[in-house]
Amino acid sequence: MARRTTPRTPASQVLDNDGETSLLDVIDNALNKGIVLNGDLTLALAQVDLVYARLSLLLCAADRVLPHKDSDIIARHSDRRARRGR
Amino acid sequence: MSATLTYVYCLVRSARRPSITGVPAGVPLSEAVRLVDVPPGKTWLVVSTVPQRAYAEEVLDQEMQRLEWIGERALAHEAVVEHFLRADAVLPMQLFTLFMTDERAVEHVTRDRRRIERILSKIAGQVEWGLRLTLDPEGPATPAKTPLTRARVASGADYLARKRDVRDAVRDRTKKARLNATRIYRTLAAEATAAERRTDADRTVPGSRVVLDAAFLVPAGRAAAFRAVVRRQTGPLKRAGVAAVLTGPWPPYNFI
């Protein structure tokens, strides 16, 4: 029985720029969905940064299908960072 | 403070020590990817040593805003995790899971043993497939096919009427596409071990053309059958201007 070759993995598709899997999906998964082990140095950084990353991903994703840009959320994020005063 | 850190990619459960031949290079500036035994056995952490200065908290805090910086590392992280997709179970860690030493990493895993065991038993032998359905703005034959710019527009009122027709048609198509998306989601969920439908996209971006963003947990051996069902279900949608993108196999990110 002829077996089809194993499908190439999502990351390899991104590296080859196949367009099938988007870089944003990879970032989104690795950043927001991986199991959180609470390392010695975690992304306790600030939840706001995670939220920001998530939102900008969504915006970019929407941007791929919608021909308009909305920079509001990014602007709001910058404001919040500034206010955190770090 | 140590000059190096242990970067953890994933936890792997396997009857035999997994092969690291041909494993990708790991995140930028890291040493070779290697395995760390987790007692009592049959479980390994996939790690690499990275310079502390490259992944210090201040660095992360600053660079987290640059999608290109994150992207490069996310791809490297993901590529390493995917190398172990054929293991009995692979549990991907969040990007930038860093410990001072290997021992500290093992200690953390051991402390979390019960939760990890529970997840491992759920995802053993399973991979994830992602399906995204988007309404193609180019669409099929609708009033939108006659672009306003090219149409001979008689008057301002005519222009507005055309514009309204286009908008109504889009709204109608969106509604139909969403109904189809829900039907397809249910059909595929019945074929899968577990399913997740993400709705954030709709909530966050008004007017988003994404009508379905879903993840399915599927036994690794049933990949071909699942893909066939996806093809059968999504094929007829093309005529309605709905594009389907199936991605995978992914580590089971959405089911841990």
Measured CA to CA, the distance from residue B82 to residue A8 in angstroms comes to 10
Identify which of A13, A20, A40 has the shortest CB distance to residue B98.
Answer: A40
Asked if residues B46 and B33 have their Cβ atoms less than 8 Å apart, the reply is yes
In this complex, is the C-beta atom of B57 within 8 Å of any C-beta atom belonging to chain A?
Answer: yes
Q: What whole-number percentage of chain B has pLDDT above 90? A: 53
Return all residues near B95 (Cβ < 8 A) that are at least 6 apart.
A27, A30, A31, A34, A43, B70, B73, B74, B77
Bigger pLDDT: B235 or A63? B235
The pLDDT value recorded for residue A69 is 36
Per DSSP, what are the bridge partners of residue B38? B43
Measured CA to CA, the distance from residue B38 to residue B171 in angstroms comes to 54
Confidence of residue A21 (pLDDT cuts 50, 70, 90): low
Measured CA to CA, the distance from residue B118 to residue B116 in angstroms comes to 5
Closest CA to B170 of B148, B145, B199: B145
The pLDDT value recorded for residue B34 is 97
In this complex, is the C-beta atom of B182 within 8 Å of any C-beta atom belonging to chain A?
Answer: no
Query: Residues of B with CB below 8 A from A86's CB?
Result: 61
Query: Residues of B with CB below 8 A from A37's CB?
Result: 8, 93-94, 97, 105, 108-109, 112
In a domain, A22, yes or no: yes
Is the CB of A41 less than 8 angstroms away from the CB of B130?
no
Measured CA to CA, the distance from residue A15 to residue A62 in angstroms comes to 22
Return all residues near B62 (Cβ < 8 A) that are at least 6 apart.
none
Instruction: Give the three-state DSSP class for A3.
Output: coil
User: What is the CB neighbour count within 10 angstroms for residue B123?
Assistant: 22
The pLDDT value recorded for residue A67 is 33
Is the CB of A10 less than 8 angstroms away from the CB of B112?
no
In a domain, A3, yes or no: no
Asked if residues B128 and B253 have their Cβ atoms less than 8 Å apart, the reply is yes
Instruction: State how many domains chain A has.
Output: 1
Domain locations in chain B?
4-124, 127-255
Domain B4-124 grouped into CATH 3.90.320: no
Q: Summarize pLDDT for B39-54 with one digit per residue, the tens.
A: 988 999 999 999 999 9
Measured CA to CA, the distance from residue B132 to residue B154 in angstroms comes to 40
Asked if residues B2 and B52 have their Cβ atoms less than 8 Å apart, the reply is yes
In a domain, A4, yes or no: no
Identify which of B61, B94, B204 has the shortest CB distance to residue A31.
Answer: B94
For A22, the domain range is: 10-84
What is the chain B residue with the closest CA to A19? B245
Average pLDDT, chain A: 56
Instruction: Give the three-state DSSP class for B234.
Output: helix
In a domain, A58, yes or no: yes
Asked if residues B58 and A14 have their Cβ atoms less than 8 Å apart, the reply is no
In a domain, A1, yes or no: no
The pLDDT value recorded for residue A19 is 55
Q: How far is CA B222 from the centre of its chain?
A: 19
Is the CB of A10 less than 8 angstroms away from the CB of B247?
yes
The model's pTM: 0.76
Is the CB of A35 less than 8 angstroms away from the CB of B57?
no
Measured CA to CA, the distance from residue B38 to residue B44 in angstroms comes to 5
Is the CB of A62 less than 8 angstroms away from the CB of B104?
no
Q: Summarize pLDDT for B3-24 with one digit per residue, the tens.
A: 899 999 999 999 999 999 999 9
Is the CB of B208 less than 8 angstroms away from the CB of A62?
yes
Is the CB of A67 less than 8 angstroms away from the CB of B137?
yes
In a domain, A21, yes or no: yes
Q: What is the DSSP string of B142-210?
A: SGGGS-TTTS---SHHHHHHHHHHHHHHHHHHHHHHHHHHHHHHHHHHHHSSEEEE--HHHHHSTT--E
Query: Residues of B with CB below 8 A from A65's CB?
Result: 134-135, 137, 208-210
In a domain, A35, yes or no: yes
Identify which of A21, A34, A86 has the shortest CB distance to residue B253.
Answer: A34
Measured CA to CA, the distance from residue B162 to residue B151 in angstroms comes to 10
The beta strand positions in chain B, using DSSP E, are: 4-13, 34-38, 43-51, 89-99, 126-135, 194-197, 210-219, 242-250
Return all residues near B13 (Cβ < 8 A) that are at least 6 apart.
B42, B43, B87, B88, B89, B90, B91, B120, B124
What is the chain B residue with the closest CA to A4? B224
* Average pLDDT rounded to a whole number, residues B122-141: 82
Smallest Cα distance from B121 to chain A, Å: 15
In this complex, is the C-beta atom of B207 within 8 Å of any C-beta atom belonging to chain A?
Answer: yes
A-B CB pairs within 8 A amount to 165
The pLDDT value recorded for residue B150 is 53
